[in-house]
Amino acid sequence: MQIKHTYLLLLGLILLSSFTVIQETEVASTEIKLISTQTEFEVGQPVVLTFSTSSEVQIDLYCSNSYGSTVISSSLKNNTLEFSIPETITKKIGAINWTLLDDNKSLSGKLHILPKPEVAIMETYIGPPSIESGGKDFTTLVVIPTDSLDNPVPTHTLVIAKFQFLDSEEGFDIFTKNLIAYRNIYSKPESGRMLVSSESLGINSKEYTINVMPAIPTDFEISATRPHDYADGNQVTTFWTTIIKDEYNNVVSDGTFVTFFIKNGKGHILKTTGTTIDGVANSKIIHPDFADNWNIKAYVDGMSESNRISLSYKQVIKDFNVEFSEHNRLIEIGPLQSFMGQMIPDGMHIKLKIYRNNSLVNTLTKTSFNGYTSFKLKPAIYENGHYNFSIETAGLSKEFNSIKLW
């Protein structure tokens, strides 16, 4: 009986105590007040928010900055709730908004982490890295001075942009706005290398280089050199440009591509190309193998052109012999002789056209060797009968009609 009473008493006590615990938490939430008054802090400084509270309950604080949000636990001392804002948040500039996570979430506010006028790194972006001379083209220097905690400096911080080009050295005052400071750098008439640097609050950036390239080429002249003026199909004619310059008298960049267009006597176009070194481009082409007149003009595609020059080539082979033998199936051509009577250098083209019943049967092409060449007409291919032949070389042509093959 005794034991039963004790149990009942104990149970009753436990029940009672649980009620009191619940009541305590319900009462708690009231009367929390913000004590801290400072709302602006320099970046990197510790930030502590304090609240006075009448209860002993730990409350969390939500806070959010530029990069993210988190929840901070409090420390409770003498009815004062203290929240020390983590370094992750205090080391970045910008607004922080916070809300106290009590039951009705009525307390909220803002803090500002201010940038400090201190530069650790001159974050520099410059581009494009090469520009055209002449004063129309420009490159841009963008500087973001940042402090040791990787924050941009305050708006309207002075940045000095410094440029060196040939014998001029200049400095410009620019100011940060929208996190950055920038200056457009226009080219000068001359080409060359421009060195760029910047300075803010006593800290200097690295040296950056801008290539000021010559502007587009202006018109130029061409000339030709050749060992002789004979159309021997063997020697080489070289075309030269004068020094190609832009409108500001800068020699164009090495590698400027020049195309020489050659129009021959038949109106056909031949083409040869070269690239400039020190403004001069040259290009070579082999002589024609028949008398011809060439008209030559050079272009830098889409930009500039040269004058027009003309060259004429003299015929070297005046005449040639043709002999038929072995049932007229072996045709020997030669000697092919050049301007001094010397044998034409090997490789002269000889074309044999074979006709039967006035229709072209075949065209055979061979090159000369030691001034001679020969064609052999095989009976298996060219049946016995009458054929017409036409032989062409060096712009000359000879015809042989009704030659009987047997």
Partner 1 sequence: MVSLNKNILRTILIASYIMIVALIISGVSALFSYLNTGADRSTMLHTEIKKVDQYAPKMDWEPLQNEGRPMDDQTLNAIQHDYLDAWYVKQIAYKSNKTAGIKDYYTDSARKNLFDFIDLNKAQGISIEATTLHHNPTLEYFSQDGQLAVITDRNVVEYKRVFKAKELILETTETSTYQMVFLLEDGFWRIRHLVKDKADIYNNEPQQIEVNSLNIKGINYYPQANPWNMFGDEFSAEIIATDFKIIKDAGLNSVRLFVQYEDFGKEHVDAKKIEKLKQTLDAAEANNLKVVLTLFDFFGDYSVMNWTLNQRHAEAVVNAVKDHNALLAWDIKNEPNLDFESRGKDNVIAWLDSMIDLVKSTDPMHPVTIGWSNTESASILKDKVDFISFHYYEDLESFDSAITTLKAEIPNKPLVLQEFGISSYSGFWKPFGSSDEDQANYHKKIQEQIAANKLQFMSWTLYDFTDVPTAVVGSRPWNRNTQKHFGFIDKNGTKKEAFQYISKQ
* Interface residues toward partner 1, by CB under 8 A: 60, 62, 64-71, 73, 86, 88, 92-97, 99, 101, 105, 108, 110, 125, 127-129, 138-140, 142, 144, 150-152, 178-180, 182, 184
Q: Which residue number, 155 or 249, has a Cβ lying nearer to partner 1?
A: 155
Question: What pairing do the DSSP bridges indicate for beta strands 108-114 and 94-100?
Answer: antiparallel
The 10 Å Cβ neighbour count of residue 46 is 10
Q: Judge contact between 26 and 57, C-beta under 8 A.
A: no
Q: What is the secondary structure of 177-225 as a DSSP string? A: BTTBEEEEEE--SS-EEEEEEEEETTEE---EEEEEE---B--B-EEEE
User: Least distance from C-beta 37 to partner 1, angstroms?
Assistant: 19
Q: Tell me the chain's radius of gyration from C-alpha atoms.
A: 47
Nearer to partner 1, 52 or 73 (CB): 73
- Look at residue 23 and give its three-state secondary structure: helix
Residue 97 or 370 having the CB closest to partner 1 = 97
- Reduced to 3 states, what is the DSSP secondary structure of residue 146? strand
Which spans in 64-170 are helix H?
87-90
Nearer to partner 1, 144 or 296 (CB): 144
DSSP conformation class of 337? B
Shortest Å distance, C-beta 289 to partner 1: 53
Q: Cα separation of 391 and 322, whole Å?
A: 9
CB 405 within 8 A of CB 329: yes
CB of 96 to partner 1, least distance (A): 7
Work out how close the CB of 142 gets to partner 1 at its nearest, in angstroms, rounded to a whole number.
6
Residues facing 111 on adjacent strands = 96
CA 28 to chain CA centroid, Å, is 67
Closest distance to partner 1 from the beta carbon of 208 (Å): 13
Name the residue nearer to partner 1 (CB basis): 114 or 343: 114
Overall size of the chain counted in residues: 406
For the bound state, the minimum distance from the C-beta of residue 195 to partner 1, rounded and expressed in Å, comes to 18
Output the smallest distance, CB 162 to partner 1, in A.
19
151 vs 368, beta carbon nearer partner 1: 151
Contact residues for 142 (Cβ-Cβ < 8 A; gap 6+) = 124, 125, 126, 180, 181, 182
Residue with Cβ nearer partner 1 (29 or 337): 29
Contact between 185 and 139 under an 8 Å Cβ cutoff? The reply is yes
Residue 262, number of CB atoms within 10 A of its CB: 21
- 29 versus 264: smaller Cβ distance to partner 1: 29
Identity (one letter) of the amino acid at 245?
K
The residue among 42 and 229 lying less far from partner 1, judged by its C-beta, is 42
Provide the minimum distance between the beta carbon of 143 and partner 1 in the complex, in angstroms, as a whole number: 11
**Least distance to partner 1 from the beta carbon of 31, Å?**
21
The total of other beta-carbon atoms located within 10 Å of residue 130's CB is 16
